[in-house]
Structure 1
């Protein structure tokens, strides 16, 4: 197939070439004159599965024939039966083993790192271990590093690095990782080929040699009698002087530097690399990009070669620079570009390392029912099975909140209905389809939990809810099934990985299969289920190496494992629209490519954090440096720039700040600006082409008509719909925010309580009321110390019963302890003035003049020795001020009126002389009201005037009429669209039917 050669055989394909197609054509052309079976003896090794699949398609398109053997480079370690090399262990097992070693180290020296980071540290060590194996670097190299700054960080890092030493050497008791076995296989193969080189053609294609073991294999293949290496994205436009300068300066961040390294190892010059095929797709653009990406030390050549560049028009034909104002508009603009290419019958691809951008573009394409062929797929943790596993694992070892329970029950895989329950429910009402009964009961349970459910629902609470229905429609069996599953979560403690995993699988299967366990196949169905089964099966197999884990460590492990795995979308993708990572982009074959996310920090990406070795230390060891990663990313960029149509895309600003354009885009634009007037005009033209797509995307995002800003509402419902009964506290609300009364009493709307129960001010008020009431009932004339102990004992009991958060219990008990002496002293003073005769007493008063009823519930009413009454109201915060009492806080005035008219259940009519607000906040304070003999008449007159005002048709329920300086609303501001209007805006009345 190849003619004899005294030098290693290295070929290149230029940027933009359809690599699989050109490779196949070259192989067919070189074997055209040979026997048909000669092609079958050709071995071709490629670096990605997509390249392998595409290459086979290219050979098949050239008619029926025997095909060459096409494999992945990494398959060598699996296919070649070198018995002296042990089979590789999975990377998961190695990470689990490392996590145990890290745990043991932290047990000895707990100050080295947080225990929550054990699995992350093990992952990082596993990555370093794999890289060292791949590059053939022994741990002794790390020990000989010259670190002049002997800081504590390096000392701590060395203790972790010593962990990996046992995994090196032929005499290691540990089986090798995949990278170590691949390196040993390559070294064995190279040694074997030196004595008995194969005579059939062997080709390594599409790899840059960025991995040490792969580079070693490429060098060996290039020296074989019928071996060849075909490099992707080779730049034939670089002058020899630039190649030599790169070799001398070691400019690792240049896209062609890996080829310099390969040529140096093969003792050939880069200019000796021949083109695999003579044709070049975009010679002018490749030359322009080559000039733009010259190494930094020689960019002064722009001054000389830039003005002489004659192919600018040809180079920028089909080139677009798209600068979007935001990532969202960038994604939509890219989607418009891809759709336009599809309508023109062209194949297109988005190439980006930014998975968030890829997902946004996919979502934007869905508006036209276009499903792109996404090489990245979806992280398994974001699929239905992955989310279920993550949700359950986070519940181990802690109490289940209402939010946890409902998010679990609403998961799409949780069926949750027994066949018996279905039959019983069908008898009680119309049949629901699919998960109908389950979701019906979940919604009803959610309503109950939002209204007055416990913070941590358990079996007792669930059974109580189900028992409230007179006829059991099957939900009792449903809640028992749920209870059986969730009861096992909280008791989980440190245990073996196998035990954690068994519990996770049992809970998952029970939730998916329902109480009867009749069918959990949905958990493992579709592509996501298949991938989840692979991950769980591997974890089950390697679990014995996981040791003992805490619930939080197990949850972190599950999240990490699911994040590393991917599942392809089960929908059939469109064959002409692709989303590719930068590595898959070498496959080529697209008429139009969009290079998306071209901002520094995205493409090229920021170097990954390395907790072990600095940049200089990595270079000294021979590991891949951050600059080399930038060079590989630059090569991917250069490769994609050779396509027929190219759109360079970036967002000018992200969610936080303005972005910086990718260094390669900056180089290209700076070069064009400095060329000549023609260069600047051409740059404006390609930017204008991008602006067209941005404007199109912005038009798609803009609503068809402007939405007018909401006005301050003041609805005027019919008189018959207006409330004829209010409580004393609702009268205060009517004064401050009439719209809240309208929404609650006319529209019959209630604020939706949050699912997540918190120790909020409302609960604190309830708790304070109960503590005070219980203390008042058992009050004795006793020394302060005994009274204080009695009060705090009651507080402790009430907090344990009503506040299920230990931290809140301690904080609130400490607050009560701070005000205990004040409260006891003032309580003794209150006892001297009168005796409690009514606690939480209810009353109702009818005003026949306006046909209106007033209801009230007094916290406490005392009777003085002269027979008069004193009314007290407890506040968990500060009491109202004197000015607020005159205008807004009329509760105690109304209660006093009701007492004097004899409208409380437990009290005869009598005069009220005083009332007090007892503020029991962090700074205790009381506000007292002294009533004169005319207060009943005055209060009654003002109440009748207030209600009568709202009995007029022209009186509207204005939103936030007199909120003053309240730090909270009544739960209806969002309904009134507050925020689109301000408190200073005039109300707009609206008559309602």
Structure 2
């Protein structure tokens, strides 16, 4: 019976360029251009329409394209297309498809209305749960399963108790969503597609078109599309053209195809779900729904290139044979033509994902060496695609990525997110500067260079501990910085400039100060703020127009979502922008393209680069449905998770049919080692079975070597250890006591700080560290000592006032460090009062002094505290909230702060109160270690050990001689400033400038 059917079901093999063969066949079937113009061609999507249009141009040549009449081409998979609506519905009014953004917001609102337990449900969580519900709804509607069937499916299964909770969520799409959709006068995509197809079929039954109707490239076996294809086959001039069906009717081919279990034609659902991962499963399902067999499929013919070798297709089909197909492999006698079939298939295994991107970019560039040759990268890995496009841009090659760029990754989208982040973060320095430094930002009243100069000054002002939140806190920090004599690059007009900027940002702050905000109000504020900060630049270009459209949609529809906490705004806005893909309208290279597997289904180039062939990437790991468990999907008759893997395998097989194929993978990515894709492993297994060995899939080592050498450059040249030796007249003559230690341990660091005037910048938005905590304790003790150290109660009051002031914006600091600070300060006060009781009285706090050496170099310093005992001897005390220098380092002359301060005191160079004798002596050098822990809040350590009173005079003389010697050589002479003379004592702020890693670990005996 099958042989008596009219042959109107065709196939174009995988090794034949589909759109070129289709165009050639349509041209051959319509000699009259007017007949061709009356033809209707149904295609899967808009990209297929564009590809077929280009194929017609290639087939006819430039001489005939001026008057080219093309068939009417309609993408049946794109709802909302004007051609689709006019073709499908005719005069029958159908509800328009619901706007995707509106549905997302409505489903999220319905999810938020459900009880959420004690912790509540965040806005972004509600949006994600709503998106998952929408995906489940689409999956059911595509298979024409009513959402109400969910109740029966769950009731029929013995499921865990948590499914009662799940059913409560599913009630959103069963009960709550349909009335909302109907009130909007809209329809779901799957329902509308089925209704449109039903209207078209009814119209065709009443008046069958007499002109040709061709459905080409449609493999989806959903019931609605299957009915459409069957209706096309029933038309007088209807034809269906399949892309890449395995038409091998030999025993091996039949064994392969018969082993694919299809639930539509077989009565074995479990095996059918296992077969869904096969690349031919979709074809078998479609043929079953069309009530056709492979014997009914004829070859389309008219191969027009670019085509691969015909011998490759059966080999690839054999490699993909199901495991249960015992005879599905080719016989070993097929080995002689295997090497020829895979002659132009190359494989590259890169070490890393970055190296793989470099290999692919080189392959694309190499293809341009052949005049007229085309190349396409096909990969589901969007990060890899972006890397390849970036590599091509460095050579001036712009490659169009069909997936586009997510809106948040474009400059306008990133600016919108920066505004939301700054508002949610109360304008903390990092987020504020990210906003103000954005390349689109500068008001129309100020030029971009002048704006950036101001922003860089603001960057300097905001370095260090985070200021108080809000715009007012930023202004207070600027005032503090402008009045701090230590600030470099101060400009008094910065405060006036910031006042103008704060006025611009005030509406954003006012919105952020609200406890909860509405999405439409946020979108309106972003619109006004974007114009205030950029003028009209934010809305220009393709990406700017895309952002404008999404902002306007959120203004119009955002009220549906309700209110949200301000802290949730950045993640929510990011999610709402991420589903907008920005594609350039022009400018891509005419012979190169980057395609996703779906976009590449009907595309063909001379070189097809299949990249990202790792397990979990191609094919991707099936994403579990959070709402529809496998048992529920099976009960509803929905496709299993493996269906997506089968479609990915189908895309791989089809792309392998190109004349030249390059397959690439990376052995590891940022997450760790990667396994080769099962699709690539099947090809290797086929080569091994045929006895061809590794030569069947040749490795392109040349590309790999080029990629690895591209950025290597010339061999490294050893540069000697830096030893700058400026003239003696240019060297500094003044040092602080801490800089003396730097001069001895790391002269280059002193050269960089004192002569080059380079200072390490504090981090932005820094947490209060050891230096900050030390300043707080020093200030409390200084005030208390200068007030006469009356009692511990007054010290406690000072401590609490300081903690309240400094911990106002750092509650965690106050909670965690506050108890230790109180204990340490109380210990210091107690120790001081005990010393007073023993006859030792403080005579100075934060006392400054200076020491002039015999060579004219002046040493400046400041003592935290100076005490005098009853005999007139003095003790110099240094408060330490960090580590304390070891006694041996002090003895060896590597920690000279206290000895130098003692020399200043004994020589009368310390600014002590009136009445201090000129012949002061020092008998104690002490470190008071503060803030260790609650069990041991403080400790007094003698700088020179327990017998320091005896050793201090000799040690002071030694320090004086040593410091004089070092300063004479390095500050008064011409000795070079070498780096890291004593590496164990160096902090390393200037190690990168001294290129320490280049010379420190050289082999012994190598030249410095």
Question: Which of 37, 41, 44 is equivalent to 2:38?
Answer: 41
Q: Which residue of 2 aligns with 1:342?
A: 368
Question: Which of 322, 325, 340 is equivalent to 2:348?
Answer: 322
TM-superposed deviation, 1:712: 5.0
Query: Per the alignment, in what secondary structure is the counterpart of residue 575 of structure 1?
Result: coil
Q: Which residue of 2 aligns with 1:430?
A: none
Could you say if the C-alpha distance between residues 414 and 112 of structure 1 is closer, same or farther in structure 2, counting changes exceeding 3 Å?
Answer: closer
Question: Which aligned pairs between 1:264-303 and structure 2 lie closer than 5 A?
Answer: 264-277=288-301, 279=303, 281-298=308-325, 301-302=328-329
TM-superposed deviation, 1:196: 5.5
| Distance in 2 separating the partners of 1:240 and 1:499 | 63
| Contact 1:586–1:640 (CA under 8 A) maintained in structure 2 | yes
**Root mean square deviation, CA, Å:** 3.2
| Distance in 2 separating the partners of 1:471 and 1:101 | 52
Alpha-carbon deviations, 1:273-312, whole Å to 9, x = none?
Answer: 222225475311111111111112126543x624434422
Query: Per the alignment, in what secondary structure is the counterpart of residue 735 of structure 2?
Result: strand
Q: Which residue of 1 aligns with 2:475?
A: 459
| Contact 1:526–1:570 (CA under 8 A) maintained in structure 2 | no
| Contact 1:397–1:492 (CA under 8 A) maintained in structure 2 | no
Q: Which residue of 1 aligns with 2:113?
A: 104
Question: Which of 796, 803, 806 is equivalent to 1:796?
Answer: 803
Q: Which residue of 2 aligns with 1:260?
A: 284
Could you say if the C-alpha distance between residues 570 and 877 of structure 1 is closer, same or farther in structure 2, counting changes exceeding 3 Å?
Answer: farther
Query: Per the alignment, in what secondary structure is the counterpart of residue 297 of structure 1?
Result: coil
Alpha-carbon deviations, 1:773-807, whole Å to 9, x = none?
Answer: 2344457655x6x4674254234234236xx3222
TM-superposed deviation, 1:51: 1.4
Q: Which residue of 2 aligns with 1:961?
A: 981
Question: Which of 865, 875, 878 is equivalent to 1:860?
Answer: 865
Q: Which residue of 2 aligns with 1:834?
A: 840
Q: Which residue of 2 aligns with 1:896?
A: 902
| Contact 2:928–2:941 (CA under 8 A) maintained in structure 1 | yes
Question: Which of 216, 229, 248 is equivalent to 1:205?
Answer: 216
* Structure 1 segments (4+ residues) deviating >6 Å: 146-149, 168-172, 463-468, 470-474, 983-990
Question: Which of 611, 627, 638 is equivalent to 1:623?
Answer: 638
Gaps of 5+ in 1: 423-433, 513-519
* In the alignment, structure 1 residue 567 sits paired with structure 2 residue 582: yes
Query: Per the alignment, in what secondary structure is the counterpart of residue 231 of structure 1?
Result: strand
Could you say if the C-alpha distance between residues 54 and 301 of structure 1 is closer, same or farther in structure 2, counting changes exceeding 3 Å?
Answer: closer
Alpha-carbon deviations, 1:733-772, whole Å to 9, x = none?
Answer: 2233222112112332222332232222222222222233
| Distance in 2 separating the partners of 1:26 and 1:10 | 14
| Contact 1:713–1:989 (CA under 8 A) maintained in structure 2 | no
Q: Which residue of 2 aligns with 1:719?
A: 728
| Distance in 2 separating the partners of 1:509 and 1:465 | 31
| Distance in 2 separating the partners of 1:338 and 1:348 | 6
| Distance in 2 separating the partners of 1:271 and 1:231 | 14
Question: Which of 164, 182, 185 is equivalent to 2:196?
Answer: 185
TM-superposed deviation, 1:691: 0.9
Alpha-carbon deviations, 1:311-345, whole Å to 9, x = none?
Answer: 22431232211222222222222222222211111
TM-superposed deviation, 1:956: 4.0
| Contact 1:253–1:632 (CA under 8 A) maintained in structure 2 | yes
| Distance in 1 separating the partners of 2:639 and 2:502 | 57
Could you say if the C-alpha distance between residues 668 and 989 of structure 1 is closer, same or farther in structure 2, counting changes exceeding 3 Å?
Answer: closer
| Distance in 2 separating the partners of 1:657 and 1:27 | 50
Larger mean Cα displacement after TM superposition, 465-474 or 749-758: 465-474
Question: Which of 675, 693, 703 is equivalent to 2:690?
Answer: 675
| Distance in 2 separating the partners of 1:711 and 1:466 | 41
Q: Which residue of 2 aligns with 1:515?
A: none
| Contact 1:792–1:813 (CA under 8 A) maintained in structure 2 | no
* In the alignment, structure 1 residue 123 sits paired with structure 2 residue 131: yes
Could you say if the C-alpha distance between residues 988 and 815 of structure 1 is closer, same or farther in structure 2, counting changes exceeding 3 Å?
Answer: farther
Question: Which aligned pairs between 1:626-637 and structure 2 lie closer than 5 A?
Answer: 626-637=641-652
Question: Which aligned pairs between 1:938-977 and structure 2 lie closer than 5 A?
Answer: 938-950=958-970, 955-964=975-984, 969-977=987-995
Q: Which residue of 2 aligns with 1:224?
A: 235
Could you say if the C-alpha distance between residues 126 and 180 of structure 1 is closer, same or farther in structure 2, counting changes exceeding 3 Å?
Answer: same
| Count of aligned positions | 950
Question: Which aligned pairs between 1:334-413 and structure 2 lie closer than 5 A?
Answer: 334-345=360-371, 346-413=373-440
Could you say if the C-alpha distance between residues 541 and 170 of structure 1 is closer, same or farther in structure 2, counting changes exceeding 3 Å?
Answer: closer
TM-superposed deviation, 1:584: 1.6
TM-superposed deviation, 1:594: 0.8
Alpha-carbon deviations, 1:639-681, whole Å to 9, x = none?
Answer: 11111111111122323433211111111111112212xx126
TM-score (norm 2): 0.87
| Contact 1:16–1:642 (CA under 8 A) maintained in structure 2 | yes
| Distance in 1 separating the partners of 2:755 and 2:1007 | 16
Q: Which residue of 2 aligns with 1:86?
A: 95
* In the alignment, structure 1 residue 137 sits paired with structure 2 residue 139: no
| Distance in 2 separating the partners of 1:378 and 1:447 | 34
| Contact 1:351–1:596 (CA under 8 A) maintained in structure 2 | yes
Q: Which residue of 1 aligns with 2:510?
A: 488
| Distance in 1 separating the partners of 2:828 and 2:476 | 37
Question: Which of 517, 540, 563 is equivalent to 1:525?
Answer: 540
Question: Which of 571, 574, 583 is equivalent to 1:556?
Answer: 571
TM-score (norm 1): 0.89
Q: Which residue of 1 aligns with 2:487?
A: none
Q: Which residue of 2 aligns with 1:872?
A: 877
Question: Which of 159, 176, 179 is equivalent to 2:168?
Answer: 159
| Distance in 2 separating the partners of 1:152 and 1:875 | 61
Gaps of 5+ in 2: 484-489
Could you say if the C-alpha distance between residues 733 and 210 of structure 1 is closer, same or farther in structure 2, counting changes exceeding 3 Å?
Answer: farther
Could you say if the C-alpha distance between residues 328 and 25 of structure 1 is closer, same or farther in structure 2, counting changes exceeding 3 Å?
Answer: same
Question: Which aligned pairs between 1:65-80 and structure 2 lie closer than 5 A?
Answer: 66-75=69-78, 78-79=85-86, 80=89
Could you say if the C-alpha distance between residues 342 and 863 of structure 1 is closer, same or farther in structure 2, counting changes exceeding 3 Å?
Answer: same
Q: Which residue of 1 aligns with 2:486?
A: none
Q: Which residue of 2 aligns with 1:25?
A: 24
* In the alignment, structure 1 residue 638 sits paired with structure 2 residue 638: no
Question: Which of 934, 951, 961 is equivalent to 2:953?
Answer: 934
Question: Which of 881, 884, 902 is equivalent to 2:886?
Answer: 881
Larger mean Cα displacement after TM superposition, 552-561 or 344-353: 552-561
TM-superposed deviation, 1:116: 4.8
Q: Which residue of 2 aligns with 1:599?
A: 614
| Distance in 2 separating the partners of 1:855 and 1:166 | 80
| Contact 2:823–2:931 (CA under 8 A) maintained in structure 1 | no
Q: Which residue of 1 aligns with 2:338?
A: 312
